[in-house]
Amino acid sequence: MSTIQWELPPRRRGMTGMLDAFVGPGATKAELLLQFGGATVAAVAASLYAAAVQPEWGIVHRLLTAVFAVDLIGGIITNATSAAKRWYHRPQRGHWAHLSFAAVHLLHVVLVAWLFMGGRWDFLLQAAGILVTSILLVHFVPLYLQRPVAFICYSATLLFFLYGPEPVTGLEWFVPFFFLKVLMSHAVREEPYRPERGAAVTHELD
């Protein structure tokens, strides 16, 4: 059994407090396993794929590919958890906090446009414009419409980049996973379901 719990448990101190600030206080062992396990698998898979299709890439490109995979796949899973939903959508965080989250992640797009696409700044402008517009739309419609509006924006984004700018070989997954994390997984407010106390495997960390 699961129940909706918006009330946040206290954030811990020290290193565990830093983890709480990233994944949300009260994350269960199962949630953490999904997040860090998924990020690890993504980094290995992306690195192996890049090595196969882009053998000429140097250490910088290979390292960034692994970092993108960890952050995007790990972030998709993390932001989709109920622990993160109630943390990132707590009352103290307003629209600007979510726009700031998106702005920070545009650094990924800057690096791709600069180092992987040879200075394709039109790609940066397109991605930034679509992302900011989508997040504004999601956050300024009534709550019950957030999810369908986000799906509309995400679908339109995929179509635009599918038939628009040619993706970088080895990073074809970047755009769909980038928008899946920042728009679909992070920006949409959803109910935080939590397991009952004492549930096996999924109990919250002390």
Gap between the Cα atoms of 154 and 180, Å rounded: 7
Query: How far is 109 from 182, CA to CA, in rounded Å?
Result: 12
**What pLDDT was estimated at residue 42?**
98
In a domain, residue 156? The reply is yes
Q: Dmax over Cα atoms in the chain, in whole Å?
A: 54
Closest CA to 72 of 197, 173, 206: 173
Separation of alpha carbons 59 and 127, rounded Å: 26
Q: How confident is the model at residue 198 (pLDDT cuts 50, 70, 90)?
A: low
The tally of domains found in the chain comes to 1
Q: What's the pTM value of the predicted model, to 2 decimals? A: 0.92
- Percentage of the chain surpassing pLDDT 90? 89
Closest to 102 (Cα-Cα) out of 134, 77, 146, 68: 134
Classify residue 191: in a domain, yes or no.
Answer: yes
Whether residue 204 is contained in a domain is answered as: no
- 139-177 pLDDT, tens digit per residue, is 999 999 999 999 999 999 999 999 988 999 999 999 999
Per-residue confidence band for 51, with pLDDT thresholds at 50, 70 and 90: very high
Is residue 201 included in any domain, yes or no? no
Distance, in Å, from the CA atom of 195 to the CA atom of 198, rounded to the nearest integer, reads: 8
Structural domain containing residue 142: 17-195
Q: How high is the mean pLDDT of the chain?
A: 94
